[in-house]
Structure 1
Amino acid sequence: MNNDRVKALQEATVELLKTIKADKLKTDEIDQLREVLRFHEHRYYIQNDPLVSDFEYDTLYKGLEGLEKEAPDLVVPDSPTQRVGKGLTKDFPNVSHLVPMLSLDNSYNSEDLLDFDRKARELTGAMEVEYCVEPKFDGASISLIYEDDHLERGATRGDGVRGDDITPNIKQIRTIPLSAKFSNYGLQTVEIRGEVFINKNNFKKFNEGLAELGLAPLANPRNAAAGTLRIKDPMEVKRRNLEAFVYHVSYYVSKEGVQKTDDGLQMTDDGKEVPSSVINHLSSNLLTHSGTLEMLWDLGFRSPAKEKKVLKGIQAVIDYCNEFEMQRDDLPYEIDGMVIKVNDFELQDKMGMTTHHPRWAMAYKFKARQATSKLLRIEYQVGRTGNIGPVAKIEPVHIGGVTVGSISLFNEDVIREKDIRIGDTVLVERAGDVIPYIVKSLTELRTGDEQPIVFPKCCPSCGDEIVRIAEEAAWRCV
Structure 2
Amino acid sequence: MTPQERIAELTDRLNYYTHQYYQNSVSEVDDFTFDQLLAELAELEKQYPEFRYPESPTTRVGGTISKEFATVYHRFPMLSLGNTYSEEDLIEFDKRVQKGLNGQAYEYICELKFDGVALSMTYENGLLVQGATRGDGIRGDDITNNIRTIRTVPLRVGQVAGSGEQGARNGEKSKGQVAIDFGAEIPLAPSSELPALFEVRGEGFLPLAEFERINKEREDIGEPLLANPRNAASGTFKQQDSGAVAKRRLDCYVYSFLSDQEVFKTHEESLIAMKQWGFNVSQTWQKCADIQDVMRYINQWEEKRFTLPLGTDGIVIKVNRYDQQRELGYTAKSPRWAISFKYKALAASTVLTGIRYQVGRTGSVTPVALLTPVLLAGTTVKRASLHNANEIERLGVRLYDTVFVEKGGEIIPKITGVDLNRRTDQSQPIIYPTTCPACGTPLIRKEGEANHYCPNERGCPPQRQTRFEHFIQRRAMNIESLGEGKIEMLIDKGLVETPADLYSLTSEQLLGLEKVFLDRDGGPEEIGKKRVVSFREKTVENILTAIERSKAQPFQNVLFALGIRYVGNTTAEKLADYFGSMDAIMKASQEELLAVPDTGPRIAESVVAWFADDYNRVFVEQLRTAGLQFEGEKKVVEREGDALAGKTFLYTGTFANFSREELENRIEANGGRLLSGISKKLNYLIVGENAGPSKVDKAQKLNVPMIGEDEFLAMLEV
Which secondary structure does the structure 2 equivalent of 1:68 belong to?
A: helix
Partner residue of 2:401? 424
Query: How much has 1:419 moved relative to structure 2?
Result: 3.9
How many Å separate the matches in 1 of 2:22 and 2:369?
40
Partner residue of 1:358? 335
How many Å separate the matches in 1 of 2:435 and 2:444?
15
Could you list the runs of 5+ residues in structure 1 that have no partner in the other structure? Answer: 1-23, 254-258, 261-281
Partner residue of 2:225? 217
Query: How much has 1:197 moved relative to structure 2?
Result: 0.7
Equivalent position to 2:90, from 110, 113, 116: 113
For residues 188 and 367 of structure 1, do their structure 2 counterparts lie closer, same or farther at Cα, with a shift above 3 Å needed?
A: same
Partner residue of 1:252? 259
Partner residue of 2:234? 226
Partner residue of 1:5? none
Return the TM-score normalized by structure 1: 0.79
User: Which 10-residue stretch deviates more, 292-301 or 312-321?
Assistant: 292-301
Query: How much has 1:299 moved relative to structure 2?
Result: 1.4
Partner residue of 1:272? none
2:295 equivalent to 1:287 = no
Return the TM-score normalized by structure 2: 0.54
Query: How much has 1:376 moved relative to structure 2?
Result: 3.6
2:289 equivalent to 1:312 = yes
Residues 425 and 442 in structure 1, CA contact (< 8 A), matched pair in contact too: yes
Equivalent position to 1:47, from 8, 24, 43: 24
Query: How much has 1:86 moved relative to structure 2?
Result: 5.1
List aligned pairs for 1:86-165, cutoff 5 A: 87-126=64-103, 128-165=105-142
Query: How much has 1:158 moved relative to structure 2?
Result: 0.8
Could you list the runs of 5+ residues in structure 2 that have no partner in the other structure? Answer: 160-190, 455-459, 463-718
1:42 maps to a residue whose letter is H
User: Which 10-residue stretch deviates more, 400-409 or 231-240?
Assistant: 400-409
Which secondary structure does the structure 1 equivalent of 2:310 belong to?
A: coil
How many Å separate the matches in 2 of 1:88 and 1:403?
34
For residues 228 and 402 of structure 1, do their structure 2 counterparts lie closer, same or farther at Cα, with a shift above 3 Å needed?
A: closer
Residues 110 and 317 in structure 2, CA contact (< 8 A), matched pair in contact too: yes
Q: Deviations over 1:222-269 (max 9, x none)?
A: 1111111111111111111111111011x314xxxxx35xxxxxxxxx
Structure with the higher strand share, 1 or 2? 1
Residues 60 and 246 in structure 2, CA contact (< 8 A), matched pair in contact too: no
Which secondary structure does the structure 2 equivalent of 1:187 belong to?
A: coil
How many Å separate the matches in 1 of 2:192 and 2:416?
52
Q: Which has the higher contact order (CA 8 A, sep 6+)?
A: 1
Residues 288 and 294 in structure 2, CA contact (< 8 A), matched pair in contact too: yes
Partner residue of 1:301? 279
Equivalent position to 1:203, from 211, 223, 247: 211
Query: How much has 1:204 moved relative to structure 2?
Result: 1.2
Query: How much has 1:46 moved relative to structure 2?
Result: 3.1
Partner residue of 1:12? none
Number of residue pairs aligned between Structure 1 and Structure 2:
422
User: Which 10-residue stretch deviates more, 308-317 or 421-430?
Assistant: 421-430
How many Å separate the matches in 1 of 2:213 and 2:303?
26
Query: How much has 1:435 moved relative to structure 2?
Result: 3.5
User: Which 10-residue stretch deviates more, 214-223 or 402-411?
Assistant: 402-411
State the identity %.
40
Partner residue of 1:278? none
Query: How much has 1:403 moved relative to structure 2?
Result: 4.9
How many Å separate the matches in 1 of 2:375 and 2:355?
20
How many Å separate the matches in 1 of 2:15 and 2:317?
33
Residues 394 and 406 in structure 1, CA contact (< 8 A), matched pair in contact too: yes
Residues 7 and 52 in structure 2, CA contact (< 8 A), matched pair in contact too: no
Residues 412 and 474 in structure 1, CA contact (< 8 A), matched pair in contact too: no
For residues 396 and 222 of structure 1, do their structure 2 counterparts lie closer, same or farther at Cα, with a shift above 3 Å needed?
A: closer
2:409 maps to a residue whose letter is G
Equivalent position to 1:35, from 5, 12, 16: 12
Which secondary structure does the structure 1 equivalent of 2:405 belong to?
A: strand
User: Which 10-residue stretch deviates more, 434-443 or 87-96?
Assistant: 434-443
Partner residue of 2:430? 453
How many Å separate the matches in 1 of 2:16 and 2:427?
63
Query: How much has 1:63 moved relative to structure 2?
Result: 2.3
How many Å separate the matches in 1 of 2:9 and 2:271?
28
Residues 287 and 345 in structure 1, CA contact (< 8 A), matched pair in contact too: yes
For residues 57 and 88 of structure 1, do their structure 2 counterparts lie closer, same or farther at Cα, with a shift above 3 Å needed?
A: same
Which secondary structure does the structure 1 equivalent of 2:259 belong to?
A: strand
For residues 83 and 386 of structure 1, do their structure 2 counterparts lie closer, same or farther at Cα, with a shift above 3 Å needed?
A: farther
Partner residue of 1:78? 55
Partner residue of 1:266? none
Equivalent position to 2:309, from 324, 332, 337: 332
Query: How much has 1:405 moved relative to structure 2?
Result: 4.6
Partner residue of 1:61? 38
RMSD between aligned residues: 3.0
User: Which 10-residue stretch deviates more, 365-374 or 79-88?
Assistant: 79-88
How many Å separate the matches in 1 of 2:68 and 2:47?
34
User: Which 10-residue stretch deviates more, 398-407 or 39-48?
Assistant: 398-407
How many Å separate the matches in 1 of 2:351 and 2:332?
45
Q: Deviations over 1:367-389 (max 9, x none)?
A: 11013334243356899999987
Residues 344 and 409 in structure 2, CA contact (< 8 A), matched pair in contact too: no
Equivalent position to 1:181, from 155, 158, 183: 158
Equivalent position to 1:192, from 192, 200, 203: 200
Query: How much has 1:347 moved relative to structure 2?
Result: 1.2
Query: How much has 1:126 moved relative to structure 2?
Result: 3.9
Residues 388 and 477 in structure 1, CA contact (< 8 A), matched pair in contact too: no
Q: Deviations over 1:126-154 (max 9, x none)?
A: 45421111110111111111000011111
